[in-house]
A and B are shown apart, each in its own frame.
Chain A
Amino acid sequence: MDDLATMIAAEIPALRRYARALLRDAERADDLVQDCLLRAWSRRHLWRQPGNLRAWLFTILHNLYANQMRSLSRQPRFAPSEAAEHMGQNARQGDQLETSEVLDAMDNLNDDQREAILLVGVEGLRYEEAAAVLGVPVGTVMSRLSRGRERLRELTDRGNVPPIRRVK
C-alpha cells in the first residue's frame, strides 16, 4: 500500500464506528463504508495534502448516507411489532451493537442531531470540521448539538427512553 492508502486504512475503524452508530446494522454499515472507500479511492486525486483526510472521508460517508436515507424514505418502512418484542426476539436482525440505553435514546433524535453528536462527541471532530462534513455553518452544528444533547438528557437521565426504535 502506498502512503495515502495507509492513511485511509487508518481511518477505517472510525468510519465503521460512525456508520454503525447511524445505521445500527453491521452489514449495512459496512456496505456504506465500502462504498465510501470506493468513492474516496476513485477520487483520491481530488484530495490534496495537507488536507484533513479524516474530514474528507467523513464528508463522503455523510453524503452517501444522506442519499441512502433520501431513497429509503420513498420505500415503505416497517416497525418492529410488539409481538416480536414479546417473543423475546431481536426485532432488528443484523443489529450487532451492544444494547445501550444511550444508543437507544439516540434513535429518537433526528439524523442532523445524531450526526452532530457522533462527529463531535465520539469522533472528536472540531466544530469547523463537523460543519464542513455536514455542509452547514458552525452555528448550525452548535444548535444541533444543543438540541440533540438536551433531548438525550431528557430521555436518558429521567429513564424514559421510548420503547419504539427508529427503523431505517
Chain B
Amino acid sequence: MSNDPKMVTLDDLQAYVDEELTPERRAEVETHLAQSPDDAERVSAYRRQNRSLRAALAGVGNEAVPASMLAVLQDRPPVREITWLPRVAAAFLFLAVGGALGGALGWGYDKLPFLDVAEKRFLREAVAAHQIYAVDRRHAVEVAAIERDYLQTWLTRRLGVPIMAPDLSEAGLNLLGGRLISTVNGPAALLVYETAEGERVTCYITAEAKRLAPGKVFLEDEATVALAWPTSSLSYAVSGAASRERLAEIAGVVNRELKQLEDG
C-alpha cells in the first residue's frame, strides 16, 4: 500500500467493504469515493456480490441438519458399525494375523468407530458387488476355480498387486471363482466362495490399503454383513448373509492364508 494518504488502493476498497479499516482510514476512503464515481460503483458492486451470494446460499443454512452429522457429536454412529478388534489388536493385525486373530476378536458396541467417506464407499462397493453377483447361480464368476492359477494371474495383472485366492476350506468354503469389478477408483476383484449348502461368501479386494482403518465391520442391511480391513497392500472385505461372528471367523482364515501365501 502507498504511503500517500490520498492514494486509495483496491485493497483499501476491499477493506472498506469488509469493514476492516480504522476509522481514520475509513474517512479518507469515503472522501475519495465521493470524488470517484468509478470506485464508488466498484464498492457498490462488491456489496451487491456479497448480497447475491448470501441470498443464493441462504437456503442451505436453513436446511435441517442431517442426523448423521449430529450423531458424530454424540459419539453415536450414523450406521451400525462395530469394532471387531480392540485398537491395539487391530494395529497388531498387520504383523501377526495368524493364530492370534481369533482370540483377539473383541466384539463391542461400546467403542463405536466412525467410518469416513472413503471407508463407507469401499464397504458399499463390497456389499453391492456381493448382492449383485453372489446370488447369480450361473454367472457369479467370470473365471471358475478350475482355472485358479489363471484367475490369480489375471487379477494380479489387472489390479497391479498380487491377488491370491486364499484356501478357505478350513471355514467350510470352496472357491467358486472370481471376477473383475469396475469402480470409479479403478479395478476391484471379487472372489466368490460357496459352502456345501450353497451359501455364498465373497471377498472384495482393491489395491488401496490406505483407504481403510483397521478392524471395522459394517452392517449394510439385515441381509448382508460386510467386514473390512487393510492388509499390507490391499483393502479387503468379506461379505455374506451370515452372522458377524461367522464373518469374523472367515476373515481370520483369510488373513492366516494370506499371511502364509506372503511368507511362502
Residues on A lying within 8 angstroms of B by beta carbon are 1, 5, 8-9, 12-14, 16-17, 20-21, 30-31, 33-35, 37-38, 41-42, 97-98, 100-103, 106, 117-118, 120-122, 126-127, 139, 142-143, 145-146, 149-150, 152-153, 156-157
Contact A41–B72 (Cβ < 8 Å): yes
Contact A17–B72 (Cβ < 8 Å): no
Contact A17–B20 (Cβ < 8 Å): no
Contact A33–B69 (Cβ < 8 Å): yes
Q: What are 18 sample pairs from A and B whose C-beta atoms fall under 8 A apart? A: A8-B73, A9-B69, A12-B69, A30-B69, A38-B72, A38-B116, A97-B60, A98-B56, A98-B59, A100-B52, A101-B52, A102-B52, A121-B50, A127-B15, A142-B14, A145-B18, A146-B10, A146-B14
- Which of A38, A101, A103, A146 contacts B11, CB < 8 Å? A146
Contact B49–A156 (Cβ < 8 Å): yes
> Cα distance A21–B15 when bound, in Å?
23
Q: Please tell me if B103 contacts chain A, counting CB pairs below 8 Å.
A: no
A145 contact set on B, CB distance < 8 A: 14, 18
Given known A38-B116, A102-B52, A127-B20, contact A20–B57 (CB-CB < 8 A): yes
Contact A103–B56 (Cβ < 8 Å): yes
Instruction: Tell me how far the C-beta of A57 lies from the nearest C-beta in chain B, rounded to whole angstroms.
Output: 12
Q: Which 3 A-B pairs have the closest CB atoms?
A: A100-B56, A5-B73, A102-B52
B74 contact set on A, CB distance < 8 A: 1, 5
> Cα distance A139–B13 when bound, in Å?
13
Q: Please tell me if B27 contacts chain A, counting CB pairs below 8 Å.
A: no
**Dominant SS among interface residues on chain A:** helix
B196 contact set on A, CB distance < 8 A: none
Q: Mark B90-116, 1 if CB is under 8 A from A, else 0.
A: 000000000000000000000000101
> Cα distance A61–B55 when bound, in Å?
22
Instruction: Tell me how far the C-beta of A47 lies from the nearest C-beta in chain B, rounded to whole angstroms.
Output: 13
Contact A16–B61 (Cβ < 8 Å): yes
> Cα distance A138–B115 when bound, in Å?
36
Q: Please tell me if B223 contacts chain A, counting CB pairs below 8 Å.
A: no
Contact B56–A17 (Cβ < 8 Å): no
Instruction: Tell me how far the C-beta of B210 lies from the nearest C-beta in chain A, rounded to whole angstroms.
Output: 11
> Cα distance A35–B69 when bound, in Å?
9
Given known A12-B69, A34-B68, contact A102–B49 (CB-CB < 8 A): yes
Given known A1-B74, A149-B14, A153-B49, contact A9–B65 (CB-CB < 8 A): yes
B66 contact set on A, CB distance < 8 A: 30
In the complex, chain B residues 201-224 whose Cβ is within 8 Å of any chain A Cβ: none
A31 contact set on B, CB distance < 8 A: 117
A150 contact set on B, CB distance < 8 A: 10
B69 contact set on A, CB distance < 8 A: 9, 12, 30, 33-34, 37
